[in-house]
Amino acid sequence: MALRNETATEPEVKVVINAGQFATSPPQYWHRVELSDDARFNIHFWVEEDHQGEEMYQQKKA
Per DSSP, the residues of 6-42 read TT--S-SB-----TT------TTSEE-----TT----
Q: Higher model confidence: residue 58 or residue 50?
A: 50
**What are the b/e assignments for 17-46, b being 16+ CB within 10 Å?**
eeeeeeeeeeeebbeeeeeeeeeeeeeeee
What pLDDT was estimated at residue 55?
64
What pLDDT was estimated at residue 60?
63
Cβ of 58: how many Cβ atoms within 10 Å? 7
pLDDT in tens, 4-52: 788 888 888 888 888 888 888 777 778 888 888 988 878 877 777 766 6
Residue ranges per domain, the chain? 1-39
For the full predicted model, state whether its pTM sits above 0.85: no
